[in-house]
């Protein structure tokens, strides 16, 4: 490809709307343009990267026995009503009606459609296992579409669905996909980690892992153990109670204590001159139309995912407004506590609260707290379970090593779904004895467009993108420094022809531009290799070969340049 012909509008300025590096660089390097919030056009170089990621994914899916299909984007509401998800998916789902007023959605995911296919076409255990996948646009009306391709409303996903006849089969399919994902992200040149995760709206009870590209800009927080292989999304990471001795000063206090004007845990701790670890937080939540109370230790954060999983699931879960708390408990939020709450209101206590020797809580009376309260005696929670966020430095559940925190970009997730969809949609097969059985399912997604963004978050410098060779839009760019010198031009043309014939994906910057402009663009776009042809070096029969990642430059003869480039590319793609 000749740069003069390439639709590659690069920008010098950083676009104001782009907050993260990958978004900025994709706009500046002319890879994408915005059509609407969270909806993008891919320009030729951007699309090439997408196609390469897709190709790697296809190869790895096919090796594992995956069969590619193409499912409809527009899906009838009936199927979603059958699975029970039409009403629970919420405002993230784009819904529409046809001219006959029939309801549809734009697929945010495809469990319903694929299960419908399999229940119609699969009769016997002999047809299983089945691994079906597609690479296609998904539609989710995200609350906050942002960061360019990172969180779009229209985005590209690979989704594979596995159908097995029994649990060992399902576990094998899951393991195949897990391993395929490791290979895919490794081949894309990414540093990643698989972490235990929460199943969210996709559901299933059999466990799930997220594949996280580690980057400071990542929206997800993960914890991992330095000593063993344990790693989990903080949403999921299980916590054991960790006991802290009660403040001595509390032992001499009793009953109701006046704590006027205290609105926060810190203020209560200050006024009583105690640690936050001796206090509990009493938070009122509203899950759909039901109020309930959650208790955690004063220094802890409530993990709303755990709350939703153990007390819900709810379509809408939120903290109650102050007016709601006031009308429900007849007390301002800052002073509510678990003692004396109506029996019909569920009280869920974190494991630590139940084990605290003695605690301080709101008195359900304005400006007062109660001290020396004991869970189990002074009040009895309806449920006691793990409801808090993990923190750095806690012991690992598996080996007692210390947990560390990191940020990650979720590029893929694998789910063990079990019978969740096969039961609701009645996807069955006949086993070898002729008995009808439910299929066991798994689903496995990769955010293709998000993977492109994540690759940039991990591979850039001040000058632009540094593509890993396997997903670079082109492997090499040839830059003739001046078009005025005939020998420079003819050498550039000859190298371009030869490299192309060798199968190296090459562009020739044949624009009549200053060399500085060409170098800037070439660095910005992130071509892994650059051959620069200038009059001076050519006089000695040499051209310059630059490596974008290492910054290394070497002078080689024009003849050697092609072989060298070919060897570097082959090595990187091996």
Are 315 and 88 a contacting pair, CB within 8 Å?
A: yes
Q: Which helix (H) or strand (E) holds 347?
A: strand 346-350
Binding characters for ligand ATP, 128-167, by CB under 6 A (x = yes): ------------x-x--------xx--x-x----------
- Give residue for tokens 């408990």: 329
Query: Of these partners, ligand ATP, Mg ion, none, which one is at the site of residue 151 (CB under 5 to 8 Å by kind)?
Result: ligand ATP
Cα–Cα distance for residue pair 444/423, rounded to 1 Å: 19
Which range, of 16-24, 63-71, 441-449, 534-542, touches ligand ATP by CB under 6 A?
441-449
DSSP type of residue 568: H
Using CA atoms, how far apart are residues 94 and 103, in angstroms rounded to an integer? 11
Pairing of strands 346-350, 383-385: parallel
Figure out which of the listed residues 412, 442, 470, 526 binds ligand ATP, where binding follows CB under 6 A: 412
Binding piece for ligand ATP, criterion CB under 6 A, among 73-81, 185-193, 410-418, 461-469: 410-418
Q: Binder to ligand ATP among 411, 488, 525, 533 (CB under 6 A)?
A: 411
Residues between 406 and 425 that touch Mg ion (CB under 5 A): 413
Closest CA to 287 of 258, 317, 262: 317
C-alpha distances in angstroms, 115 versus 89, 172, 424? 18, 19, 10
Choose, by CB under 6 A, the member of 110, 297, 450, 548 that binds ligand ATP.
450
Longest dimension (CA), the chain: 95
Of 27-35, 267-275, 447-455, 506-514, which segment contacts ligand ATP by CB under 6 A?
447-455
Sheet with 103-106, side-by-side order of all strands: 74-76, 103-106, 94-97
**From CA 197, how far away is CA 176, in angstroms rounded?**
18
Q: Within 10 A of 552 (CB to CB), how many other CB atoms are there?
A: 9
* Span 76-115, contacts to ligand ATP by CB under 6 A: 109
* Chain position whose Cβ is nearest to Mg ion: 413
Q: What are phi and psi of 406, to 5 degrees?
A: -150, 165
Tell me how far, at minimum, the Cβ of 209 lies from ligand ATP, in Å.
Answer: 10
**Closer of 129 and 145 to Mg ion (Cβ):** 145
Q: Which does 450 bind (CB under 5 to 8 A by kind): Mg ion, ligand ATP, none?
A: ligand ATP
* Closest to Mg ion by CB, 150 or 356: 150
CB 133, min distance to ligand ATP, A: 13
Minimum distance from residue 202 beta carbon to Mg ion (Å) = 7
User: Does residue number 445 form part of the binding site for ligand ATP (CB under 6 A)?
Assistant: yes
Integer angstrom CA distances of residue 259 from 112, 264, 295:
55, 11, 20
Tokens 């299929």 label which residue? 439
Site map (CB under 6 A) of ligand ATP, residues 187-226, x = contact: -------------x-x------------------------
Strands 542-547 and 368-373, by their bridges, are unpaired
In the complex, the smallest distance separating the C-beta of residue 42 from Mg ion, rounded to whole angstroms, is 23
Give the binding site for Mg ion (CB under 5 A).
Answer: 413
Give the binding site for ligand ATP (CB under 6 A).
Answer: 109, 140, 142, 151-152, 155, 157, 200, 202, 410-413, 445, 447, 449-450
């Amino acid at each position: 490809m000749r740069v003069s012909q390439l639709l590659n509008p690069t920008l010098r300025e950083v676009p104001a709307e782009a907050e993260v590096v990958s978004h900025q660089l994709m706009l500046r390097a002319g890879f994408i343009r915005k059509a609407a919030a969270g909806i993008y056009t891919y320009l030729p170089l951007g699309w090439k990267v997408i196609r390469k990621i897709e190709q790697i994914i296809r190869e790895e899916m096919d090796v594992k026995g995956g069969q590619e299909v193409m499912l409809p984007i527009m899906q009838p509401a009936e199927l979603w009503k059958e699975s029970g998800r039409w009403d629970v998916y919420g405002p993230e789902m784009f819904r529409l009606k046809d001219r006959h007023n029939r309801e549809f959605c734009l697929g945010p995911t495809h469990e319903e459609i694929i299960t419908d296919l399999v229940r119609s076409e699969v009769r016997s255990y002999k047809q299983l296992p089945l691994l079906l996948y597609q690479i296609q646009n998904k539609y989710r009306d995200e609350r906050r579409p942002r960061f360019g391709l990172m969180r779009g409303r229209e985005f590209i996903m690979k989704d594979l669905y596995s159908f097995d006849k029994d649990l060992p089969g399902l576990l094998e399919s899951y393991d195949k996909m897990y391993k395929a994902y490791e290979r895919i992200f490794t081949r894309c040149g990414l540093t990643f980690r698989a972490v235990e995760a929460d199943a969210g709206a996709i559901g299933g009870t059999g466990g799930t892992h997220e594949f996280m590209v580690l980057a400071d800009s990542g929206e997800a927080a993960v914890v991992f153990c330095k000593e063993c292989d344990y790693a989990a999304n903080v949403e999921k990471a299980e916590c054991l109670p960790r006991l802290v001795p009660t403040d001595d000063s509390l032992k001499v206090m009793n009953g109701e204590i006046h704590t006027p004007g205290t609105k926060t845990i810190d203020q209560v701790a200050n006024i009583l001159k105690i640690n936050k670890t001796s206090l509990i937080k009493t938070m009122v939540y509203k899950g759909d139309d039901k109020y309930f109370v959650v208790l955690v230790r004063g220094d802890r954060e409530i993990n709303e995912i755990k709350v939703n999983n153990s007390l819900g699931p709810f379509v809408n879960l939120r903290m109650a407004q102050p007016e709601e708390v006031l009308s429900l408990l007849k007390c301002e939020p800052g002073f509510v506590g678990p003692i004396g709450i109506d029996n019909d209101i569920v009280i869920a206590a974190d494991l630590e609260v139940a084990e605290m020797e003695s605690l301080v809580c709101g008195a359900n009376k304005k400006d007062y707290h109660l001290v020396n309260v004991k869970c189990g005696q002074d009040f009895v929670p309806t449920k006691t379970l793990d409801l808090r966020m993990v923190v750095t430095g806690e012991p690992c559940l598996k080996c007692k090593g210390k947990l560390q925190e990191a940020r990650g970009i979720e590029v893929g997730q694998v789910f063990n779904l079990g019978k969740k969809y096969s039961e609701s949609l009645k996807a069955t097969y006949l086993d070898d004895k002729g008995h009808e059985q439910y299929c066991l399912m798994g689903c496995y997604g990769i955010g293709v467009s998000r993977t492109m963004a994540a690759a940039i978050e991990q591979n850039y410098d001040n000058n632009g993108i540094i593509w890993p060779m396997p997903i670079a839009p082109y492997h090499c760019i040839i830059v003739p420094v001046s078009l005025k010198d005939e020998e420079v031009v003819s050498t550039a043309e000859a190298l371009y022809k030869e490299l192309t014939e060798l199968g190296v994906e090459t562009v020739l910057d044949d624009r009549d531009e200053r060399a500085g402009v060409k170098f800037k663009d070439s660095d910005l776009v992130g071509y892994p290799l650059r051959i620069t042809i200038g009059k001076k070096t050519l006089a000695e029969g040499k051209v310059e070969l630059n490596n974008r990642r290492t910054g290394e430059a070497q002078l080689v003869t024009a003849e050697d340049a092609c072989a060298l480039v070919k060897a570097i590319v082959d090595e990187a793609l091996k």
